[in-house]
Each structure stands twice: as structure tokens, then as C-alpha cells.
Chain A
Amino acid sequence: MPKHYRRAGKKKEGNAARYITRSQAVKYLQVSLSVFRRLCIFKGVFPRDPKKKVKGNHHTYYHMKDILFLKHEPLLDKFREMRAYEKKVKKAVSKKNKDLAERLLTRKPTYTLDMLIRERYPKFIDALRDLDDCLTMVHLFAALPAIERENIQAERIHNCRGLSLEWQAYISRTHKLRKAFISVKGIYFQAEVEGQKVTWLTPHALQQVMPQDVDYKIMLTFLEFYETLLGFVNLRLYHSIKLKYPPILDPRLKALAADLYALTRYADAKDRAVGANDEESELRLAQLQDQLPANEPGALMHLVEDVTDDIEEDEDTKACKTLFQNKTFFLGREVPRESLLFVITAFGGVVSWDGDGAPFEESNQDINYQIVDRPTQSHRFISRDYVQPQWVFDCINARIILPTEEYMVGKVLPPHLSPFVDNEAEGYVPEYAETIKRLQSAARKEILPMPGGEEDGLESAQNLLAEGVIDRTKAKEAAERRQKMALEEKKYHEELKKEMIGMQHTQTSNIDEIRNNGEDEAGPSTRQLVEDDENMAMVSMSRKKRGLLQAMLISNERKRVNVETLETRKKNLKKSKGKESE
């Protein structure tokens, strides 16, 4: 009798009934593989790993319930209808039935993905949670060229661009941007929308490489879903700040390719108009806060006090909003305008640029910083600082205005550090991170006594730092505890050793001695003992736990090795530098 014998007439059970392979699923749904793929992408159905792979290891398994879920999708019928329609048109054309073909062409079946989005993301927060890939994809396509061969149409590229700019306009308008990081792959941004951290990557604004071995059909299917999703998300976000969606832009600015600026202008203008009507609008309060002259700290304080209860804006947002407040920037022709415009406005700065449609000229006396990315700057205004673009990004990641000396034109820049790394957890703190930390603490001390609207931001900064300190102390405590434990263990081994030798165990074995002597004294036998202890612990563990422990040890080891290589490299660099200086 075979191993998996099933009596005739008896239904399948277990994994064999619960999971089917992809080809089985395609057959079951009576669709082509491409349609199945589209459906899966739209519905968010993914393969699952059964515990027991009945058909073999090299298959993709889908859960039967997922497939049934696809089977009842109205979109499936729609796809069938479209296929039938295409056949009809083809038939009419090949039979030279021009009238019929034309009539059919006016009645092309269409579909929307609206309900699918509602189904996949029952709440708005779910959609926000899953927005990372969507934003990255839309931003990428906004930077791609339209290719007829791959069916990447210009209007979709435009749509992507529009959507991405709308998103950016919302983020910068509501000051929700938290982190930005220039990497080799592009610029990473992280915003916090309704408590959700949304991270996305925008490619550098250059001609993108289009590889040949990529199936653009799949990407376009994803893009179709993402476009719809981002549209709905944008609408919801715009409505939440009482703006109309889709926004109507200044055609003049649009023509000048200053879409983002046009959008921000739109947001501001609408704000003013709407804010007047709606008294309770929190935005209006924020607006007022912005508009009140800075030389009336008392009034502002009063207002802020009144507002604090109602305002939902958290400390972080306030800190972000005030970082570049009352600072005016001017972008040089050679710097990436769009990203900087987005970043600076998101942190409360005022920006202009060298080019058409700019709000003010380069000669404007109010400009505090001019952002330049060229080897030398010939004509300089004395009243402003000429800095490289990295300064802006470093400032917002550090949440303080960094000194500009190191970022001046033509200077060798300090390293640009990722704000997404937890240095403490990683175990290696780059030198510049420490410098920034020092600067942060210095800034905190300086500005502490100052009153006014900036206080909030400072407070938050303080909090941040305080948190950092707390974390540190905790870490320290933990380290101490660990040390103590190690000591105790050592003591224990010492006792063992003594027993080995046959000495009478004395209670008066002092820890200090061991501590002083450290590991050197312990010698190989102690190490052996420790190893033995570990081995014995391993022996008595279950296989699962043993595997887990080993994996943990391996990962810790890997981390340690990484840190070690970094440190050795650093040492080597220092050495070579020292030699050079000599």
C-alpha cells in the first residue's frame, strides 16, 4: 500500500487539501497565468508555505482559501469580459467589419480598483502602514522616461509625478517629514503620518537606467494599484487639512516645471481662505502662529497656551516646523531643486531658486543661506552663508542648525550619516555622530533660557536627548550587570578549580583579586571551563532552543566582526594619515 493511500471516494485532507500549487490554481480558476498574476497583485494574495509540501519542494503553494477568495472576485469576471471583448474586436477587424469594430471600440469594458483598496485596507491607517512600497514605486516611475516599447505611457509617468508631488506637498505643508538621507541609491525620506512612519526612496533626478531583463508588465500592474492607492490616500490627507483634491495648480508655474512650488502655493492659499471660515481648524491656529510677528512673544505665548489643549500637533512636529523658521534659502542652479524645496519647506524655511518662476531673486537681502554645489563661488554676498546641500540634510537629521564652516563651498564635507541607524544597538558610533551629539547638547544648553515659540521645539529636542541619556544609562546598567555576572561566574570557576586541586573551599576568596587579575590570570583552564559550561548547557537544551541560541550567537558574532572591521579600518586610516603628516 502506498504511503499516502487514500480510499476511493474519501476526500483529501490536511495539507493536500488546504494548499494547491500555482499551476493547479491557474487551472482551477480557468484563467491564464498572466491574469492570475494580475489578480494576485491586485488582491494582495501571496503564496504560503505549507508545513508539508505535498507536491514537492519546487512548487509555489497557495492556500485554497486564498484561491477561493480570488474565485469570487468580480474583477475576474471583468478580466474575462475584457478578453472576450478583445476577441470580438479582433474578429471584427479581421473580417473588415469596420462599423462593428468602431462601435465596439466605443464600448470598451473598464474596471476600477477602488473597492479592492477598501478591501485590502479596511482602515485608512492600514493603507498608511503599507505605503512605503507604493511611494517608492511612484517616485521611481515619476523619474522614468516613457517607453512605447514597454508600454510605459507618458500620461502614466505624468500621473505618477503628479501624485508624488501632491504627497510631498502635503508632507511639507503639515511638517511631517522627520528624516532625510542622501544615499547612493537616491534620497530616502521618512515622514510620520498619523503615527505611522512612512519611508520612501526617490531616485536621483537623473536619467535612469532601464534594464532589459525586467518584466515591466509586472511593475506596471503594481503601479496601477499603487496609483489608485496613492490617489485615495492623497485625497483623504488633503481633505484632512481642508483642501480640495485634486488640486488646481497655477498653470504658469506648472509650465515652468515648478510643480511642487505650485502645489505648496496652492496649499497655502487655500489654507488662508478656508481657515477664515473654520474657526476650529487646528490648521488655522498653526497658521496664526506662523503669521504672528515674532517680536510679540507674549501674544504668541498666550495663543500657544490657549491652543495647546486643542492642537494635536505633537512635539516632534513643532520641532520640525521651527527648525528653519525665519530662515531664507536660495538654491543654486546646480543643486537638486525639487528635493531641497521639499525638505526646506517641510522644516519651515522659505526657499527660492535660480530659475524661472522663483519667488524672489538671488539679490534679495533676506537670504540667510545660499545652497551651492560647485567647486568655487565667484560672487558672494557677505550677509549669507554659502553651504553645500548636505548641510540641510544633516541639520534636519540632527534637528539643530549645525555650524556652516565645515559645509562651505569647496570644502571637503564631513561624512553624511544615516539617521536610520541606531548606533548604540549597532555597537559602533562613527566619529561624526559623536560630534553631532555634542553639538546637540551644546545647543540645548544655550537656548534653554530663551522664551517664545521656539521653546516647544527645544523641549522636544531636550526630550530626545534626555531619552538618549536614559537609554545610555540603561545600557550602562546592563553592562555593569553583565560584568558582575561574569565576575560571579569567574568566582565559581575559581572555586571549581580549587576543588579540583583538592583544596578546601574557603569562603574568603575575594572577588577583588580576581577582578584585578582579570582574564590574564585565569588562563586557558578557566577558559576551558567556561567553554565546558556552555557545552553542557547546550547538551541539555532541546534541539529547537539549541538552534535558536546558535543563531543568536552567530548573529552576535557577525555584528561584532563588522564592528571590528570598521574599527581596524579606522585605525589603519589614522595610521596612514599620521605617516602622511610626518
Chain B
Amino acid sequence: MANNDDVVMVIETTRCSEMKKKETVEKPEVIFEEEAVHSDSDDSILSPVVSDDDYEAFSDEDATNNSDSELLESEEDSDDEVHANIMDQQNPSNDDGLSDGVDDHDQGDGSASEDSREVVDESDSSEDEVGPRNTIGDVPLEWYNDEEHIGYDVTGKKIKKKEKLDKLDSFLAKTDDANSWRKIMDDIEDEEVELTKEETKMIRRMLKGRAPHADFDPHAPYVDWFAWDGAKHPLSNAPEPKRRFIPSKWEAKKVVKYIRAIRKGLIKFDKPKEQPRFYNLWGDETEQSGHGLSYIPAPKAKLPGHEESYNPSMEYIPTQEEINAYQLMFEEDRPKFIPKRFTSLRSVPAYEKSVRETFDRCLDLYLCPRARKKRINIDPESLKPKLPSRKDLKPYPTTCYLEYKGHTGPVVSVCTDPSGQHIASGSHDGTVRIWEVETGRCIKIWELGEPVQHVAWNPLPELPILAVSMGQDVFVLNTGLEKEESKTIADLLRVEATSATDDSESAGSSVSWSQYDKYEGIRIKHFKTVSSVEWHRKGDYFSTVMPAGESKAVLIHLLSKKVTQRLPFKLYGLPVSSTFHPTRSIFFVSTKKTVRVYDLLKKKFIKKLDAGVREISSISIHPGGDNVIVGSKDGKLCWFDMDLSSKPYKILKSHPKDITNVAFHRTYPLFASSSDDCTAYVFHGMVYSDLNQNPLIVPLEILHGHKSVNGRGVLDCTFHPRQPWLFTAGADSVIKLFCH
């Protein structure tokens, strides 16, 4: 039996080494020696073994770390004792004091107790083989809650429940017992188990995730259990396959691939030579054609001036007030750099904007559109055009010769009679006056009551009558300046009461002719404010303009028949003024944006002159009839050549303020413009009979003298019909005559 045991033990140890890889390399040798020792006695190695013994041997082996003496001891133990050990394996009460009466078998001696401890140690691996005292199995313990027993032992006897201590007692017991921390309640056996030192150690190791046993080496080298050396026969009887003898196709393919890659130069074995990073890039100065667009080099950064010095002259440093004043400037105007003075080079700090400025320069370089701009370094005088000398263009009005004073309000309109001996003027003070040109004497005054808008003298010398627009009325007044008393004027200016009512063609309903009682003349009542009156050259027709009159804004009146006609064309925009052509039956109406030209005989629209200015204020026709000047409220004067284009031939930006009136001279090549900036410009405007030659326009003179009243300056200007003289009517209620 002992021999048998030995053998079993040996086998166990080998299995152990194999399974747990716990033993060292020397250990099997020892075992084999043992085997050798024992093998002679019994050859049947693999004979069936009693499981109990097996267990015991294993446990011994494990616990005592191959101490032969102990092995021998355990071998000498009797079967009974072994059984007892088995029975006791779960019993942790290996200490003498703690062995309860529940145990059926008391420990006899020290060796036996030691054995039992060893068995307990080994409980983890052989739980199945040694059953517990309680045999109820794996059933829920609640089933026994109401019972007095907790189960049955092997023999079928009930295992009685022990009396439970109440909480206080158990607490007291716990506090009294120093070892209470290592006591665990085993519910199935209904007993307290105290863990040994080794067990606690084991638990600690397991908690750390290591193997429970300290001497277990998880990384021990593998020892092959099969002895290959002595094997006579191969493991497999299969014949050697063919592929072992022939070269691999795939390898060959791979090799071919590599060879090709090498030949192609894809794989290089020698490292490429280190090329120098820089070389003579401009070695051959051959002209390379750049890309199609011209390269515009970036402008160089501005070079620093005296003020950027670290130690500039004192005058470059702004005073504190000036620096403060910079804060009030616009951000764009504010100087970017404020000069500063440092007494020595060592006190100069790092410039805080150096990175920022370089960055801005970078942005400029790649984000700013570049364009070539010609920078001209010329005398500003050379820009001025070469004009013919003004001396050669004489005569023209230059100096104020006479002033006609008498009006008490701004004089808005002035007009000369065809002979040039008298002028008529209308003012906002509600009077129309007639002056003798040469003496400046006021001949006649009409007090009309309302601010006068416009006065116009009949162009026929034998008919010295005056048309005056005032509010919604137009008066045709007899001046009484005719040489000999003739009846024609009186006849002309008589309106029969019936005709006023009968006259109802197109515009008659809105316009009524009537005799003016206060002075000798006719009153034509309109339905809206009349802004201007213009005579036809023959002195029978005259036109009036009512800017607010809509479709009846421009009316043509026939004085001899006392008839009113509407302009038979649609007007686009608000009319400003109207004029008759000096020789032909053509009629000009200027609206705010354009000038429209109509043929009155053919009743046809001829053309539209597009001035391209903000708002037209006045118009005048050259006595030749082919050129028109237009004054605008943005101070521009447009010269139109009717034969050339409908766009202005020349735009003269003369006045900073509104142009109030423009006028051509009837005989001299002169024209003038008057403006609210208190000046009047006189121009030389020569029109040549040769159609190929463009008109020559030369500014001649700026006439000053009027004063500004309520933001208004010169309100009207008109030339003397014979002399190169200019009459200007000012807002300061003075009329001036400028002579050459």
C-alpha cells in the first residue's frame, strides 16, 4: 500500500507540474529519481488509485513543498487518519481551543492536527471530492429558516441549529476577541470559521489579482513532458509533400517583381548623393518668358523720416496737447506713429509692433490688388490748358459800371428792351420797375402786390410791352414807352369780356383772359403758379410754364387773338423753363433732367438733350440756334451742340452753388452764367460757321459785387442787346451793369 501510495504521489506531482507550472526544473528530476527508486517495487504506474489517497498525497505534496520528511510522515499515516482528515478538511478550527463538539472526530495528536490544517489549505482544488458536513446540497437556505435544523449529515441525522447570540452579545464578543476580524460565518455549516494567517495572505494575494500561492510562478519555462529523443517512429506516417522539393512559384514571382523594380530604378541600394541645397540658380542668364501678365512689383516700404529716429530733433516731438488732439481726429487721419525721444541707445525698448507691421506688410503683399499708376512730377501750373489770350477776346464785361437801386426785395428777373435803352426788373417786393440803362433812373414802377417771378420784354421794338409772371397770374403790361402814341398797343391789350369766357378750347377752361384794371394791360389767370414767361421772336406768341401744371404745364398764348393753347406733347418730368428757337419754329422745354426739343409747325418731337446733371435750372439758345447752354443746380454749365450729339459737348464746372440763369449775347460771342455764390461768369463762346470746327469756349471773367442774402446770390443775368454789357440782378435788391 505504501508503495502504491508513493507511485501515486509521484504521478500527482508530475501532473501538478504540468498543470500549474509550479514546480521548478529540478523538481521533476527529484521526482523521477523517486520514481526510479520506487519503480522497481511496482511497475503498474497507471493503476487505479483510491481517490482519497490521491487527494491526500496531493495536498501533502503541495503544502509541504516537497519536504521529503513530511512526505514520509504522511505516508506512514494510517488510512483511518486519512479519512479523518478528509472529514475534517472543511473544518477550520485547527486550533485546539476552537475545536467544537460538533466535530465527530477529535484530533489525536499534533501531527494529525497539522495534517488537518494542510487539508484545509488545499480545499480550493478538491472541494468536489470532500463533501461538507451538511449534505443538503445547493439549495436555498431560506427553506430551513423556520426549521430547527439546518440540514443533514452523511448519516441522515439532522444537524441542529446552534443558538444565536443576540446582537449585543455578538458585538461584545467581537470587541473582546482580538481575532474577530478573521472570523467568518459559514451559513451552511452554521458555524464560525476563523481564517488562518496563510488564508488571509492568500485572500490578500487574490485581491491583488495574483496567484493565491506565493511560490507559484506563472512564467515558468515550459518543460516538454514528451521525450522525443528516444522515439523510433515518426508521429505521422504521411509521405513528404511535393512542395517541399520544388521552388516556390510565389517566391519566384516576388523576386521577379523586385528585379524589375531594381532595373527600373524604383529600388535603390546606394543612398542618393547629398545635393547641395543651394546652387547657382542664375547660372545661365537666358531670358525666360514669364507668364502672360505683366508682373507688378510691390511698392517698397516707406523709408523712415527724421521723426522715426530714436533721438529726433526736438521739433519733431509733438506736445502733449497735440497728442491729445490726435484722439479727436478720425481714426484714418490719426498719425500712426508718434515720435518719441530716448536719451541714449540703451534706453530704447523693443518695438512692440514689429511683428504686427511685418505681418501687415505680408498681407499687403498677397492680398492687395496692384496696379501701375503713373506718378507725375510736374508743376501744377502746366496742367492748366493753353487758352487764347483774353486780351484778344475783348470786349467783354469786366467791371461794374452802374448800380440800379430801388427795389426793396431780391430782384429775381431782369430783362432789356430790344433797343437796349431800358431794362425791366421784377422783384420779390412785388414791384416791376423800368430803368433807363445809361442813367440808372427808374422810369416806372408797377406795384403788383405779389412777388414777381419773371419779366419778359416783347422782342418787337415797336411793341414796348412787358409780360410779367406773378403768382398764378401773367400780366401783359403796356410800358408806355412807344415813340408815338399808336392805337395798336391799346387794341392789343384790350380784352373783351366775352372772349374770356368763350375761349375754351383745350386750356381755356383753366386760363382766363381779362382786362387788368389797375394798370393798362391784360391779366391772364392760370390755375397754378407760373414760373416763367418767354416771348416768341415775332412778339405775338408767348409761352408760360407752370411746373405744377401737369399736362397743361406749358401753355402758349397768342396775344393778338387772346387765345391759349396747350403744348400738344406729353412731358416727361417737371418742366422748368421754355424757350423759342431764335429763327425757326422750334420750341425748347427743359425739364429737371432733360431738354426736349419740339417742332411746333410739324407738331413733332425732335430730340432730347440729356444733360446728365442733377437738376436743370435754366436754358439759353445761341442766336445761331444750333447751340444750347443749360445751367444746373449743381453748378454745372452744359454746352450742347445740337448738330453734334444729344450729350453735352462740354461741361463747365464753374460755380460751387446753383446756377440761377444762363444767357447768350445776341451779337457778341459771349455767354454768362449767374449763380447763388454771388458771382457771374462771363465766357467767350465762339461758334464757327465751319461745321468741322468745334465751338471755342474760354472763361473770361468772374464778376463779383453782389452780396449774399439768405443764401442767395445773383438771381438773374442778361446781356445788353447791342453792347457787351451784362446786367445782373442780385438777392441784395441791386441790379448791376457790368461794362467792358
Interface residues of A in 551-582 (CB under 8 A from B): 552-553, 556, 566-567, 569-570, 572-573
CB pair B279–A235 under 8 Å, yes or no, is yes
Q: A184-B351, A535-B702 are in contact. Are A335 and B345 (CB under 8 A)?
A: yes
Residues on B with beta carbons closer than 8 Å to the beta carbon of A48: 369-371
CB pair B367–A60 under 8 Å, yes or no, is yes
Chain A's nearest CB lies how many Å from the CB of B672? 13
Residues on A with beta carbons closer than 8 Å to the beta carbon of B339: 184
User: Which of A124, A181, A413 is close to B343, meaning CB atoms less than 8 Å apart?
Assistant: A413
Residues on A with beta carbons closer than 8 Å to the beta carbon of B651: 543
User: Which of B285, B313, B365, B399 is close to A430, meaning CB atoms less than 8 Å apart?
Assistant: B313
How far is A234 from B277 in the complex, measured between Cα atoms in Å? 12
CB pair A199–B303 under 8 Å, yes or no, is yes
Residue interface mask B343-376, A partner, CB < 8 A = 1: 1111011111111111101110111111100001
How far is A84 from B704 in the complex, measured between Cα atoms in Å? 79
How far is A234 from B281 in the complex, measured between Cα atoms in Å? 11
CB pair B312–A219 under 8 Å, yes or no, is no
Q: A69-B291, A540-B652 are in contact. Are A532 and B702 (CB under 8 A)?
A: yes
User: Which of A44, A129, A218, A549 is close to B362, meaning CB atoms less than 8 Å apart?
Assistant: A218
CB pair A199–B300 under 8 Å, yes or no, is yes
Q: A140-B354, A573-B314 are in contact. Are A63 and B293 (CB under 8 A)?
A: yes
How far is A539 from B702 in the complex, measured between Cα atoms in Å? 11
CB pair B310–A183 under 8 Å, yes or no, is yes
Residues on A with beta carbons closer than 8 Å to the beta carbon of B369: 46-49, 60-61
Q: Does B305 contact A (CB under 8 A)?
A: yes
Interface residues of A in 470-493 (CB under 8 A from B): none
CB pair B308–A500 under 8 Å, yes or no, is no
How far is A549 from B346 in the complex, measured between Cα atoms in Å? 47
Q: Does A266 contact B (CB under 8 A)?
A: no
CB pair A432–B313 under 8 Å, yes or no, is yes
How far is A119 from B293 in the complex, measured between Cα atoms in Å? 13
CB pair A239–B344 under 8 Å, yes or no, is no
Q: Does B385 contact A (CB under 8 A)?
A: yes
Q: A48-B370, A118-B288 are in contact. Are A539 and B308 (CB under 8 A)?
A: no
CB pair B366–A40 under 8 Å, yes or no, is yes
Chain B's nearest CB lies how many Å from the CB of A186? 6
CB pair B681–A539 under 8 Å, yes or no, is yes
Residues on B with beta carbons closer than 8 Å to the beta carbon of A245: 278
Interface residues of A in 344-369 (CB under 8 A from B): none
Q: Does A236 contact B (CB under 8 A)?
A: yes
Interface residues of B in 244-297 (CB under 8 A from A): 277-282, 285, 287-288, 290-293, 295-297
Chain B residue with minimal CB distance to A47? B369
Residues on A with beta carbons closer than 8 Å to the beta carbon of B344: 373, 388, 413
Q: Does A142 contact B (CB under 8 A)?
A: no
Interface residues of A in 503-533 (CB under 8 A from B): 528, 532
Chain B's nearest CB lies how many Å from the CB of A206? 4
CB pair B282–A140 under 8 Å, yes or no, is no
Chain A's nearest CB lies how many Å from the CB of B558? 41
CB pair A47–B305 under 8 Å, yes or no, is no
Chain B's nearest CB lies how many Å from the CB of A204? 5
Residue interface mask A179-190, B partner, CB < 8 A = 1: 001111110100
Residues on B with beta carbons closer than 8 Å to the beta carbon of A239: 280
CB pair B359–A118 under 8 Å, yes or no, is no
Chain B's nearest CB lies how many Å from the CB of A542? 8
CB pair A206–B349 under 8 Å, yes or no, is yes
How far is A548 from B292 in the complex, measured between Cα atoms in Å? 32
Chain B's nearest CB lies how many Å from the CB of A208? 6
Residues on B with beta carbons closer than 8 Å to the beta carbon of A549: 380, 383-384
Chain B residue with minimal CB distance to A501? B399
CB pair B306–A232 under 8 Å, yes or no, is no
Q: Does B387 contact A (CB under 8 A)?
A: yes
CB pair B280–A235 under 8 Å, yes or no, is yes
Chain B residue with minimal CB distance to A210? B355
Chain B's nearest CB lies how many Å from the CB of A395? 15
CB pair B281–A236 under 8 Å, yes or no, is yes
CB pair A374–B288 under 8 Å, yes or no, is no
How far is A243 from B366 in the complex, measured between Cα atoms in Å? 35
CB pair B309–A415 under 8 Å, yes or no, is yes
Residue interface mask B316-328, A partner, CB < 8 A = 1: 1111000000000
Q: A65-B292, A66-B293 are in contact. Are A541 and B384 (CB under 8 A)?
A: yes
User: Which of B278, B348, B356 is close to A204, meaning CB atoms less than 8 Å apart?
Assistant: B348
CB pair B380–A430 under 8 Å, yes or no, is no
Residues on B with beta carbons closer than 8 Å to the beta carbon of A188: 303-304
Residues on A with beta carbons closer than 8 Å to the beta carbon of B310: 182-184, 416
Chain A residue with minimal CB distance to B399? A500
CB pair B301–A183 under 8 Å, yes or no, is no
Q: Does B169 contact A (CB under 8 A)?
A: no
Chain B's nearest CB lies how many Å from the CB of A121? 8
Interface residues of A in 225-277 (CB under 8 A from B): 231-232, 234-236, 239, 245-246
Residue interface mask B698-724, A partner, CB < 8 A = 1: 111110100000000000000000000
User: Which of A208, A219, A235, A496 is close to B278, meaning CB atoms less than 8 Å apart?
Assistant: A235
Q: Does B566 contact A (CB under 8 A)?
A: no
CB pair A390–B345 under 8 Å, yes or no, is yes
Q: Does A450 contact B (CB under 8 A)?
A: no
How far is A28 from B147 in the complex, measured between Cα atoms in Å? 91
Residues on A with beta carbons closer than 8 Å to the beta carbon of B285: 123-124
CB pair A183–B314 under 8 Å, yes or no, is no
Q: Does B561 contact A (CB under 8 A)?
A: no
Q: A46-B365, A46-B370, A63-B293 are in contact. Are A336 and B345 (CB under 8 A)?
A: yes
Residues on B with beta carbons closer than 8 Å to the beta carbon of A374: 346
User: Which of A418, A500, A528 is close to B309, meaning CB atoms less than 8 Å apart?
Assistant: A418
CB pair A334–B346 under 8 Å, yes or no, is yes
User: Which of A185, A203, A234 is close to B304, meaning CB atoms less than 8 Å apart?
Assistant: A185
How far is A551 from B351 in the complex, measured between Cα atoms in Å? 34
Chain A residue with minimal CB distance to B291? A69
How far is A120 from B290 in the complex, measured between Cα atoms in Å? 8
Chain A's nearest CB lies how many Å from the CB of B458? 34
Residue interface mask A116-160, B partner, CB < 8 A = 1: 011111111001011011001100100010000000000000000
CB pair B702–A236 under 8 Å, yes or no, is no
Interface residues of A in 186-210 (CB under 8 A from B): 186, 188, 199, 203-204, 206-210
Chain B residue with minimal CB distance to A72? B291
Q: A137-B358, A184-B340 are in contact. Are A537 and B351 (CB under 8 A)?
A: no
Residues on B with beta carbons closer than 8 Å to the beta carbon of A426: 305
How far is A123 from B281 in the complex, measured between Cα atoms in Å? 9
CB pair B681–A421 under 8 Å, yes or no, is no
Chain A residue with minimal CB distance to B301? A132
CB pair B290–A182 under 8 Å, yes or no, is no
Residues on A with beta carbons closer than 8 Å to the beta carbon of B368: 46-47
User: Which of A130, A206, A334, A500 is close to B297, meaning CB atoms less than 8 Å apart?
Assistant: A130
Chain B residue with minimal CB distance to A544? B383
Q: Does B398 contact A (CB under 8 A)?
A: yes
CB pair B314–A421 under 8 Å, yes or no, is no
Q: Does B627 contact A (CB under 8 A)?
A: no
Chain B's nearest CB lies how many Å from the CB of A75? 14
How far is A549 from B653 in the complex, measured between Cα atoms in Å? 15
How far is A130 from B337 in the complex, measured between Cα atoms in Å? 26
Residues on B with beta carbons closer than 8 Å to the beta carbon of A536: 681, 699-702
How far is A185 from B337 in the complex, measured between Cα atoms in Å? 10
28 A-B pairs (CB sep. < 8 Å): A46-B298, A48-B371, A61-B369, A118-B282, A122-B287, A137-B362, A140-B355, A144-B355, A182-B311, A186-B354, A206-B349, A206-B350, A234-B278, A235-B278, A236-B280, A373-B345, A388-B344, A388-B345, A415-B314, A417-B309, A417-B312, A536-B701, A537-B384, A539-B652, A545-B383, A546-B653, A567-B315, A569-B316
List 9 other contacts, CB 8 Å, given A188-B304, A418-B309. Answer: A124-B285, A132-B300, A133-B361, A140-B354, A218-B363, A390-B311, A502-B399, A549-B383, A549-B384
Q: Which 6 A-B pairs have the closest CB atoms?
A: A420-B303, A206-B350, A536-B699, A415-B313, A570-B315, A49-B369
